[in-house]
Amino acid sequence: MKDIDDSPIVRNGNSIILAYDHGTEHGPVDFEPNPASADPEHVFEVARHDAVTCIAVQKGIAEGYHQEYSDDVNLLVKLNGNSNLRDPEDYYSPKQCTVKYAVEELDADAIGYTMYAGSDYEDQMWKEFREVQEEARKYDVPVVMWAYPRGHGIEGNSEYGGDKDSDVVSYAARLGLELGADMVKCKYPGTEDGWKQIEENVGKMKTVMSGGSKRSDRDFLEDVSTTINAGGNGLAVGRNIFQRENPEGLLDKLEKVVFNAKDVDEVM
């Protein structure tokens, strides 16, 4: 863990990451609510909004589309990911881009890596994360871990209440700190106390909330605001933005909540 306050993906200590790796993770089905969102150009246009500190995309999208937005949109390249077409034994996310390629060829400002703690493949992912993390240090780019506890170790343990149980989320977040991430993206555990539990266990490391599936503006903003109040550093949001035809209004509100410490009532 290093201090990344000077990084382009952080503003006033916080971040709003526009996540757009759904074409990899879920496929075209995620673009159906707003067909325009299938076109990366459309989403890069959205990412020009001041609220967005960076866009998070896979290698191929970065290659094909980022260059013309490089003045306006900071780039986080997601180094691993997995498709929903396959039916694996347990959760695993293979690497499809090196840090070297992300930084040298794609001009990435940060890199992202999904870690499925609790999976049968957790150990293998730790090894791959080690490589990624040490290479990222060489290039001096922040390391954001999608800290997603999942798999047989979680499902098969009756003490755990699933992958949003704050005990589980906190442990996964702590692993981010221990393994050398600079920021972790966590599932929202449902309450302010839940997020506080995360914060108590991650020291100085930054945390962002996972946006999740689309819901009402107010519900969504409440979760974000709670996260900020509990000490979180913002959010990574995808479907709640690009599945709307006019996400600018929501981005305006998010900007106020995340960077200007406004309450939800103030921005609605």
We find the least distance from the C-beta atom of residue 243 to its own copies, in angstroms, to be 15
Out of 12, 124, 191, 213, name the contact with its own copies by CB under 8 A: 124
Tell whether residue 23 is a contact of its own copies (CB under 8 A).
yes
Out of 9, 18, 73, 118, name the contact with its own copies by CB under 8 A: 118
Tell whether residue 132 is a contact of its own copies (CB under 8 A).
no
Out of 8, 45, 107, 153, name the contact with its own copies by CB under 8 A: 153
Q: Name the one range near its own copies by CB under 8 A: 145-153, 208-216, 217-225, 248-256.
A: 145-153
Q: Which of residues 24-53 bind its own copies (CB under 8 A)?
A: 24, 27-29, 31, 35, 38-41
Q: Which is nearer to its own copies, 178 or 266 (CB)?
A: 178
**List of long-range contacts for 78-82, beta carbons under 8 Å, 24+ apart:** 78/21, 78/24, 78/111, 78/112, 78/113, 78/114, 78/146, 79/111, 79/112, 79/113, 79/132, 80/113, 80/114, 80/128, 81/21, 81/24, 81/25, 81/114, 82/24, 82/25
Q: Which of residues 75-104 bind its own copies (CB under 8 A)?
A: 81-88, 92, 94-98, 101
Quick check: is 59 catalytic? no
Residue window 202-241: x/- pattern of binding to its own copies, with contact defined by CB under 8 A: -xxx------------------------------------
We find the least distance from the C-beta atom of residue 222 to its own copies, in angstroms, to be 26
Tell whether residue 126 is a contact of its own copies (CB under 8 A).
yes
Q: Which of 59, 78, 185, 256 is catalytic?
A: 185
Tell whether residue 176 is a contact of its own copies (CB under 8 A).
yes
Out of 111, 144, 168, 264, name the contact with its own copies by CB under 8 A: 168
Q: Which are the catalytic amino acids?
A: 185
